[in-house]
A and B are shown apart, each in its own frame.
Chain A
Amino acid sequence: MTFQGWAEIALTIGLAVGLAWPLGIYMARVWQGESTWLDPVLRPIESIFYGLSGVDRNKGQGWLTYTFSFLAFSAAAFFILYALLRFQNLLPLNPQGFAGMSPDLAFNTAISFVTNTNWQSYSGESAASYLSQMAGFTVQNFASAAAGIAIAAALARAFAANRGESVGNFWVDLTRITLYVLLPVSIVGGLVLAALGVPQTLSHYIDAHTIEGAKQTIALGPVASQEIIKQFGTNGGGFFNANSAHPFENPTPLTNMIAMVAMNVLGFACVVAFGRVAGARREARALVIAMTVLLAGAASAIYWAETQPTPALVAAHVVTTPNMEGKEVRFGAAASAVFTAMTTGASCGAVNAMHESYTPIGGGMAMFLIQLAEILPGGVGSGLYGMMVMALIAVFVAGLMVGRTPEYLGKKIEAREMKLCMLASLILTASILGFAAVAIVLPLAMKTVSASGVHGLSEVLYAYTSATGNNGSAFAGLTAANPFWDTTMGIAMWLGRFGYAVPVMAIAGGIVAKPKLAPTAGTLPTHGGLFVGLVIGVILILGGLQYFPAQALGPIVEHFQMLQLTAAH
Chain B
Amino acid sequence: MPSAISASGSQGAILRRAFIDALVKLDPRKLTGNPVILATEVVAVLATISVVDAFVRHASPLFAIQIALWLWATVLFANLAESVAEGRGKAAADSLRAARVTTNAKLINEANGQVTMTPSHKLGKGDLLLVEAGDVIPADGDIVEGVASVNESAITGESAPVIRESGGDRSAVTGGTTVVSDWIKVRVTAGAGDSFLDRMIAMVEGANRRKTPNEIALAVLLAGLTLVFLVAVVTLLGLGKYSGVALDPMVLGALFVCLIPTTIGGLLSAVGIAGMDRLLKVNVLATSGRAVEAAGDVDTLLLDKTGTITFGNRMATEVIAAPGVAEDRALRAALMASLADETPEGRSILELAREKHGLSLETPDGATAVAFSATTRMSGLDVAGTSWRKGAVDAVYKAAGLEPKDVPAEVAAAVDRIARSGGTPLAVSENGKLMGVIHLKDVVKPGVKERFADLRRMGLRTVMITGDNPVTAATIASEAGVDDFLAEATPEDKLRLIREEQAKGRLVAMCGDGSNDAPALAQADVGVAMQTGTQAAREAGNMVDLDSDPTKLIEIVEVGKQMLITRGALTTFSIANDVAKYFAIIPAMFVVALPSLAAINIMHLSNPHSAILSAVIFNALVIIALIPLALRGVRYQAIGAARLLSRNLMIYGLGGVIAPFIGIKIIDVLIHAINLA
Contacts and interface: CB of A to CB of B under 8 A. Distances in A.
Given A405-B564, A422-B220, A553 B238 contact: no
Interface in B566-615: 567-569, 571-572, 575-576, 578-579, 582, 586, 590, 594, 596-597, 599-600
Contact of A457 (B243, B504, B569, B642): B243
B235 A433 contact: yes
A456 B238 CA distance: 13
A422 B224 contact: yes
Contacts of A461: 239
Contacts of B569: 400-401
Nearest to A415: B217
Interface string B533-575: 0000000000000000000000000001110110111011001
Given A397-B571, A405-B564, A522-B460, A441 B238 contact: yes
Contacts of B28: none
Given A419-B224, A545-B578, A556-B597, A437 B458 contact: no
Contacts of A433: 231-232, 235, 239
B459 interface: yes
B649 A398 contact: yes
Interface residues of A, number: 67
A185 to B, nearest CB: 38
B223 interface: yes
Interface in B348-394: none
Given A414-B213, A522-B460, A401 B596 contact: no
Contacts of B495: none
B506 A436 contact: no
Contact of B223 (A422, A440, A516, A530): A422
B565 A418 contact: no
Contacts of B662: none
Contacts of B645: 398, 401-402, 524-525, 530, 534
Interface stretch (A299-307, A376-384, A493-501, A557-565): A557-565
Contacts of B299: 518, 520, 522
Interface string A381-411: 0000000000001001111111111000010
Nearest to B638: A522
A24 to B, nearest CB: 26
Nearest to B213: A414
A520 B568 contact: no
B239 A550 contact: yes
B241 A400 contact: no
Contacts of B115: none
A541 B586 contact: no
B220 A425 contact: no
Nearest to B654: A537
B239 A396 contact: no
A459 to B, nearest CB: 11
Contacts of B646: 530
B597 A521 contact: no
Nearest to B648: A401
A333 B548 CA distance: 74
B564 A516 contact: no
B652 interface: yes
B624 to A, nearest CB: 23
B93 to A, nearest CB: 28
A461 B225 CA distance: 21
Nearest to A430: B231
B582 A548 contact: yes
A161 to B, nearest CB: 12
A245 to B, nearest CB: 30
Interface of B is mostly: helix
A109 B269 CA distance: 50
Nearest to A396: B221
B237 interface: yes
A410 B572 contact: no
A33 interface: no
A429 B640 CA distance: 37
A552 B505 contact: no
Given A426-B231, A544-B579, A545-B582, A436 B238 contact: yes
A403 B565 contact: yes
Interface in B126-164: none
A560 to B, nearest CB: 4
For this complex, into which size category does the number of interface residues on chain B fall?
35 or more
A423 interface: yes
Contacts of A522: 299, 458-460, 640-641
Contacts of B297: 404-405
A403 B296 contact: yes
Contact of B238 (A438, A534, A545): A438
Contacts of A537: 653
A543 to B, nearest CB: 11
Interface of A is mostly: helix
Nearest to B506: A518
Contacts of B213: 405, 414-415
A425 B644 contact: no
A471 to B, nearest CB: 20
A241 to B, nearest CB: 28
A434 interface: yes
A202 B538 CA distance: 83
A397 B231 contact: no
A552 B245 CA distance: 12
A54 interface: no
Interface in B442-474: 456-461
A557 B586 CA distance: 11
Contact of B293 (A401, A405, A556): A405
A461 to B, nearest CB: 8
A564 B578 CA distance: 28
B596 A560 contact: yes
Query: Which residue among B224, B242, B459 has the maximum number of chain A CB atoms within 10 Å of its CB?
Result: B242
A544 B568 CA distance: 21
Given A397-B568, A425-B228, A522-B641, A418 B221 contact: yes
B220 A419 contact: yes
Given A440-B238, A441-B238, A521 B567 contact: no
Contact of A521 (B231, B458, B578): B458
A541 B459 contact: no
A523 interface: yes
Contact of B561 (A403, A515, A534, A541): A403
A413 interface: yes
A425 B230 CA distance: 13
A453 to B, nearest CB: 8
B652 A434 contact: no
Contacts of B567: 400
B218 interface: yes
Contacts of A557: 243, 590, 594, 596-597
Nearest to A400: B568
A541 B579 CA distance: 8
B458 A528 contact: no
A546 B228 contact: yes
Nearest to B227: A426
A549 interface: yes
B233 interface: yes
B636 interface: yes
Interface in A413-460: 413-415, 417-419, 421-423, 425-426, 429-430, 433-434, 436-438, 440-441, 454, 456-457
15 contacts: A396-B218, A400-B214, A401-B569, A405-B213, A418-B218, A422-B224, A522-B299, A522-B641, A524-B645, A530-B646, A541-B578, A545-B582, A546-B228, A553-B590, A556-B597
Interface of B: 213-214, 216-218, 220-221, 223-225, 227-229, 231-243, 245, 255, 259, 293, 296-297, 299, 456-461, 504-506, 560-562, 564-565, 567-569, 571-572, 575-576, 578-579, 582, 586, 590, 594, 596-597, 599-600, 636, 640-642, 644-646, 648-649, 652-653
Given A400-B564, A515-B505, 4 more contacts: A397-B572, A404-B296, A522-B641, A548-B586
Pairs A-B, 10 closest by C-beta atoms: A522-B459, A422-B224, A400-B568, A403-B561, A437-B238, A520-B459, A437-B235, A560-B596, A401-B568, A521-B459
